[in-house]
Structure 1
């Protein structure tokens, strides 16, 4: 890590301690919740350094005198051991001995976790009472690294009750437990909807969240009154955590925090001000070699470099092309390493060589080089795909390939060299691809001296002598015949007492869900992603993107092969992910509302929560406001319409029949919003305290974070009731439509995350051409549609200089209109009237759009329409105003996820 990155890490860790763990002050019954528990969430990025943050928070917590730290390290043995190894190396560093034993009590001990010797779980998590008593009395911490699996958690819980809680109760002070849950969306989420009909002892209830909560508040016996707990969930995909019901024990009730990653843009970190403005990235002056290469690089700024490569649809050709890309990239990387240090060996040469010291083998090892082939979730498909790789490379048959895989020594055969010689143009083409990428990356990220791509003869020699014969194929999944996890560390041979190089210096990994959660692929350059889903969900597929990480040193050589649909989905996932991150950052820095979790146009935010709603921003392509005043008193909206039509207007005549009147001028987005926003209704005043108002506040906070809005800007401006309770907010009301039009105008100069383009499949607003958006922004025609009722002879509408015939739309039991736009005649001829949705087209003398007669959007760049109806039923004292609006395609849209199913009335 650079000094800048370490500074940001420390600042973020301090924020988690000060605003999260100690946000209510030191443990104290007067300031803490009655439960003596605080719960929160930290959002990181996929393979961005969440573990470093966890260790940093642990270190600062230990400095602040924390008594007990529990690290929940994944739901699989491989993840548990990986985190434990990192913790021992990075947090509990130093030589084993008396000094280390005296400063903390570590559970389990390294020999239990890393030796591989079978042991009972009760022995694994043993905490001797005498040692616990001594440590707590001396203010020395207990540190536990537990696997997030029910048997492990229950074993740890038993040990805490038997050996720790009694010692805690003896103390005359508060004892603070910090529980850090890695991958908190994996196994730690409760779905109340799924479980609401099941009894408390039902075996089908999800046990992991309950077992975690039992660590500090056992359901059976309770905890000491002086035990206080802070639970912090860490995840890159917090959608389900944020959507779960608040009463679930691990729901983030007290704080939500977002970590930052290094790039060339963003707000610099300010260690002196924890509440300073934040962004998802921070400027890293060290350059691209130290950047986090996530969705921003792959799907946005790196698109010109061709980092994402669309599959051809020919499975064999796509497999071959991805392997060629990987192997050629490996040869280039080895060339770069050898140019810097001639003593570096290749992956073939270093095999079988013994070294006296571990540092020697590390110095001689080539850069780790990995590829991921993700065929599907099916374990059997992983072995078949690995066989495909070996058979393509020249292994005679599948049986031989399978035996090689299961032996753990499935090296690419020498016959691949001859195969390459027979198709050199296909391999050499990757030299040109990588040169093009290098140039595009240098331009986009201001790289002064891009790394030179060697010529084909140089790469060919390295491929023949080192990369092809030194590359192996490995299946990593839960099958007993597969490998547990990648091995990137030098291996010590107990027989020879010497060191050998790591196993996976150049490896093609075939895997599925195991790789989609926590396990790190070092040196990954190439991914072939064949998996697809009929019902994609963002959080699951975000976790599968193991090509993210710190790959700036060779990003021009990275490739992700997938279908165009999948690439578009990944880009959209990134967009809503950034929107959530920006919302969290705004909340951390000020008084912004809690962030919204978003679905996409073609995917859900999460599949871990049942019955979540999908709430758009845009009311629809042609919303009609059915709210109307009762006509017993003069309608103030009639005065508003009269003022609007005091300017020049003209009749709208179709087939010799006057259908209404239209203004001769059109309104801008903001003028249309102001017109709709000033309408008022006696029975409808939702105010600014509703969940719909909060949704608009969330959107506005993101827009403001992208580029500050003018002071006083308020998208949603619903009136509050003079007295009584606010009305239930409705979606198709003038204030929601006005808010949408204000949002549209604000977005013309802002590439806002999490917004899509209406009427454009997979269209992301953040990637739209804003200059084109400005040129094609809609203007709104304003009209009055005449009806078959009486002429309006009194009030402000009677003196406009033209006669208005009232409509006679009926009312429902709630006093709202029971009809909207009226009939639509898709077969109308040139002199016939097709329908009110096209009233303004007749006024302008334009041909009707191709979508006439359907519910589709008006074309991008078309006019919008605001059409008023002056409604007066027989016996009604005063006419009242109704309004319908037509909105063209091309505007911004989002889809908020809500566990309540809906934010608004039907």
Structure 2
């Protein structure tokens, strides 16, 4: 598509989308294909010249796709302390920056997403203070999005609205590297400034919103530019004079000591208009400040020790670490300030001490005013969909090509040093799996070209080492391989075997993979397949266009997407840290990822393959180690647990300071860097309100038999069972296979847990510790009575019944997630309905109501498109802990639920097909207000939790 036809396409799309929106509102129905045809027929008369330049069928497909998109509901925890509500319709009249940004985004996103952006930015802005409010005020908040989900678009909208409402100085802290800062500057040039901030240009050309509104009198001022060296500097500072009457100023700066010191010096000496008579601190009282901290968990968090003393009082003489100190100092020199951190990985932010403050630098960056959780649109593909979650696992993880160590280890061994030369089978060349990944990228580019997406950017990520010297060697080897492919296809020499192999690979592996991905992950899109002959015709052009780029601190290469806007850049980007966080890889199709960072936030941020893949998700592939697949799955669960806890806190009307967070720990992974966790303490642990389920098991027959026999003795001692359908309440249409026991004494459950051996690799489920916890709770007369359920698989053609403790049960089928020599790991054990076993009808109904109230329609959380039809586990556990107020249903903290399952050992290994069943169990603990704990380091909690500020639960 040419630049002219793309412009025509966007113009028609924008007009048609608005017309369809009105038509749907009039008809009070969803958009239909007939509506689309009708509105396009009208536009074809009005925009005849534009229609002559575009493919009408492509327009229809895009409008159908956009009309089907949904966006979930955001959730906000907020504090009204020293806050005056102010944002209403009257204040929004006459806004310029938001109006033109909204219009600019119309052609780029579905109207549902634009509406959601409007709602979300209003919500965030309303949590800040009215910039016209007199006196001193300070609001600090955090916005949590998903990785690669559009946070930049969100804070661009927030900046527009903040500028419209009267914020005069807007500072965006844009990462640690020049290329990320420049990328952010370009985005803000287009979305807010309206002109290209080209250094040393006589005229600054209009871009983005500036092409919509040509009135230069409303142009904001820019203190930085889009070049790699366009950060805030002394020469710029010397020329800048700011007064309250001027249009807003935008600063896009790195989190860099020198840059922030320059900015702070300029504020103190050129902007400050007042001196605090008590402290002598220079203050800016006439210019309200908004600081946007992009990737606020990275670089901004104070990693110093002893933020508070032993009784929790802030150490006013504490010396924060450099970047944190400078950010806080900038804020502390304004009497009217707003700070908003943006991150997809808030693990470090929640460990900021909520009481940290010093005299010189002011309060720490804890989000005391608000935390907003952004929901993902329905077309977002994130960790939950790629790797599955504990509640939902995609069928076979179709995007992922798991690699065993033999696929890559001889080439890039773990623990290699700088200067290492990667070698494969005796030569300096790439391993077969990376060659396969490159061919996969070639197929992806070819399919996209055949679908009319040839002028769109397509990228491949290769991230295998953090050392730049090793990256350079990888670049050389990748370039050699691409050059060889290109040479053979261009000259037709030595091509027969290669072409035959590629054809077989495309037809038997890549194409079936495309179809599996569409079946599992693609909705509301018709994505076309192509025969090999069609691909073969475009392969020489594709190979000619592919560029291999090195992206690191020493490389001269850059991802020049902007310069290739009309033709589309096809690039294999090879790098390390610069590709690990923040930097957007446009049209990312293929990833080859071996980096073995062991921190939740670092790993999640390295996942550049998350995001939006409209029109080409089925050609995307991720090549990574089986261990990484397991780690990412765990992180997805940790993030979801965090969000569920957050939803419950929102439903309870909590504030951020009452938000006691617990984050999963891992035997190998750490939550974030140890330095950022100085305010986290190994906890006296409670399992109250938790679900525990075994997902890691031994794979030696003797160990499997030992657990089977311990369970056999336990079940036999329980005596006569009830049929599992004899619960207090069974919803219509539900049938169960299994056995039920009530009023089982805690001693029996504790004895079972002490006899059952959990696997050493089970990072959270340690049965002796859980037994200790139950005994500790028994001292307060909690968890003294137990309901035990032995749950079998629903009947089907593959039934396998076994007997345990005299009870016959149908074994569950659970395939292993990854290959391990020492264990059998599964993704999830229980079914969602299992935790509702033996609830009363009142409890079941109340938990369902709460589940619907906390449902966010967030695609990446695998919540489903419709509100839940049965209660969810977190809400069930909360209702049991609190009781049903007003319904005469008291809490049931004295009751625990133990669920037992037999797993078919063949799922672990064919060699175990004749072994005893693998015994698995889950425990659902009701919520509790008890402060009883057991000691364990598998969880760490932030200052709010261990500071005892979660007493609001009472």
Q: If the TM-score is normalised by the length of the shorter chain, which range does it land in?
A: 0.5 to 0.7
Task: Specify the alignment match of 1:469 in structure 2.
Answer: 544
Deviation at 1:575, TM superposition (A): 1.9
- Quick one: structure 1 residues 666 and 253, their matched pair in 2 at CA, closer, same or farther if it must change by over 3 Å? farther
Which of 155, 165, 170 is the equivalent residue of 2:262? 155
Task: Specify the alignment match of 1:107 in structure 2.
Answer: 222
d(CA) in 1 for partners of 2:942 and 2:229? 47
Deviations along 1:145-180, whole A, 9 cap, x unmatched?
A: 222211111111111122222179999986421111
Which of 609, 613, 620 is the equivalent residue of 2:676? 609
d(CA) in 2 for partners of 1:318 and 1:424? 18
Deviation at 1:772, TM superposition (A): 11
SS at structure 1 position matched to 2:342: strand
Q: How many residues align?
A: 604
1:89 and 2:196 aligned: no
- Quick one: structure 1 residues 241 and 762, their matched pair in 2 at CA, closer, same or farther if it must change by over 3 Å? farther
Which of 770, 778, 787 is the equivalent residue of 1:734? 778
Which of 831, 854, 859 is the equivalent residue of 1:770? 831
8 Å Cα contact 2:746-2:774 kept in structure 1: no
Which of 13, 18, 42 is the equivalent residue of 2:121? 13
- Quick one: structure 1 residues 771 and 577, their matched pair in 2 at CA, closer, same or farther if it must change by over 3 Å? closer
Deviations along 1:259-312, whole A, 9 cap, x unmatched?
A: 12111xxxxxxxxxxxxxxxxxxxxxxxxxxx1111133112654462000114
Deviations along 1:571-614, whole A, 9 cap, x unmatched?
A: 22122122223333444454256262422444222114245445
8 Å Cα contact 2:170-2:289 kept in structure 1: yes
- Quick one: structure 1 residues 862 and 585, their matched pair in 2 at CA, closer, same or farther if it must change by over 3 Å? closer
8 Å Cα contact 1:41-1:256 kept in structure 2: yes
SS at structure 2 position matched to 1:547: coil
Task: Specify the alignment match of 1:381 in structure 2.
Answer: 470
Task: Specify the alignment match of 2:272 in structure 1.
Answer: 165
d(CA) in 2 for partners of 1:552 and 1:158? 46
- Quick one: structure 1 residues 742 and 473, their matched pair in 2 at CA, closer, same or farther if it must change by over 3 Å? farther
Deviation at 1:761, TM superposition (A): 7.0
Which of 289, 298, 303 is the equivalent residue of 1:191? 303
Deviations along 1:477-504, whole A, 9 cap, x unmatched?
A: 111x442x3111236xxxxxxxx966x7
Task: Specify the alignment match of 2:515 in structure 1.
Answer: 439
d(CA) in 1 for partners of 2:317 and 2:687? 45
d(CA) in 1 for partners of 2:305 and 2:921? 44
8 Å Cα contact 1:294-1:548 kept in structure 2: yes
d(CA) in 1 for partners of 2:316 and 2:946? 29
Task: Specify the alignment match of 1:596 in structure 2.
Answer: 661
- Which protein is bigger by CA-based radius of gyration? 1
- Quick one: structure 1 residues 188 and 862, their matched pair in 2 at CA, closer, same or farther if it must change by over 3 Å? closer
d(CA) in 2 for partners of 1:747 and 1:47? 40
Deviations along 1:775-827, whole A, 9 cap, x unmatched?
A: 999xxxxxxxxxxxxxxxxxxxxxxxxxxxxxxxxxxxxxxxxxxxxxxxxxx
Task: Specify the alignment match of 1:422 in structure 2.
Answer: 497
SS at structure 2 position matched to 1:75: coil
Which of 509, 534, 538 is the equivalent residue of 2:600? 538
d(CA) in 2 for partners of 1:120 and 1:25? 25
d(CA) in 1 for partners of 2:239 and 2:742? 70
SS at structure 1 position matched to 2:124: helix
d(CA) in 1 for partners of 2:671 and 2:831? 27
SS at structure 2 position matched to 1:306: coil
Deviations along 1:722-747, whole A, 9 cap, x unmatched?
A: xxxxxxx9984337996699999999
Task: Specify the alignment match of 2:695 in structure 1.
Answer: none
8 Å Cα contact 2:169-2:248 kept in structure 1: yes
Task: Specify the alignment match of 2:626 in structure 1.
Answer: 564
Task: Specify the alignment match of 1:297 in structure 2.
Answer: 385
Task: Specify the alignment match of 2:169 in structure 1.
Answer: 68
Task: Specify the alignment match of 1:272 in structure 2.
Answer: none
d(CA) in 2 for partners of 1:196 and 1:419? 70
- Quick one: structure 1 residues 663 and 40, their matched pair in 2 at CA, closer, same or farther if it must change by over 3 Å? same
- Quick one: structure 1 residues 748 and 237, their matched pair in 2 at CA, closer, same or farther if it must change by over 3 Å? farther
Deviation at 1:69, TM superposition (A): 1.7
RMSD over equivalenced CA pairs, Å: 5.1
Task: Specify the alignment match of 2:234 in structure 1.
Answer: 122
8 Å Cα contact 1:77-1:147 kept in structure 2: yes
- Quick one: structure 1 residues 742 and 519, their matched pair in 2 at CA, closer, same or farther if it must change by over 3 Å? farther
1:78 and 2:179 aligned: yes
Deviation at 1:769, TM superposition (A): 5.0
How do residues 128-527 of structure 1 correspond to structure 2 at under 5 angstroms?
A: 128-129=240-241, 132-133=242-243, 136-137=244-245, 140-166=247-273, 175-193=287-305, 206-218=321-333, 223=334, 227-246=335-354, 247=356, 249-263=364-378, 291-300=379-388, 302-304=394-396, 306-312=398-404, 313-315=406-408, 316-337=431-452, 366-393=455-482, 418=493, 421-428=496-503, 429-445=505-521, 447=523, 450-463=526-539, 465-479=540-554, 481-483=555-557, 485-490=558-563, 505-527=569-591
1:574 and 2:636 aligned: yes
Provide the TM-score with structure 2 as the length reference. Answer: 0.55
d(CA) in 2 for partners of 1:51 and 1:325? 30
Deviations along 1:739-786, whole A, 9 cap, x unmatched?
A: 69999999999xxxxxx99x9979676x44518978999xxxxxxxxx
Unaligned residue ranges in structure 2 (runs of 5+)? 1-108, 196-204, 277-281, 310-314, 358-363, 409-430, 693-715, 723-738, 751-763, 765-772, 794-816, 839-916, 924-936, 949-954
8 Å Cα contact 2:549-2:573 kept in structure 1: yes
8 Å Cα contact 1:127-1:163 kept in structure 2: no
SS at structure 2 position matched to 1:16: helix
d(CA) in 2 for partners of 1:737 and 1:307? 49
- Quick one: structure 1 residues 99 and 337, their matched pair in 2 at CA, closer, same or farther if it must change by over 3 Å? closer
d(CA) in 1 for partners of 2:781 and 2:629? 33
- Quick one: structure 1 residues 744 and 185, their matched pair in 2 at CA, closer, same or farther if it must change by over 3 Å? farther
d(CA) in 2 for partners of 1:232 and 1:121? 24
Provide the TM-score with structure 1 as the length reference. Answer: 0.58
SS at structure 2 position matched to 1:216: helix
d(CA) in 2 for partners of 1:422 and 1:501? 36
Deviation at 1:556, TM superposition (A): 0.7
Task: Specify the alignment match of 2:96 in structure 1.
Answer: none
- Quick one: structure 1 residues 417 and 385, their matched pair in 2 at CA, closer, same or farther if it must change by over 3 Å? farther
Unaligned residue ranges in structure 1 (runs of 5+)? 264-290, 339-364, 397-410, 492-499, 624-660, 680-698, 700-728, 750-755, 778-857, 865-892
8 Å Cα contact 1:386-1:510 kept in structure 2: yes
d(CA) in 1 for partners of 2:134 and 2:604? 39
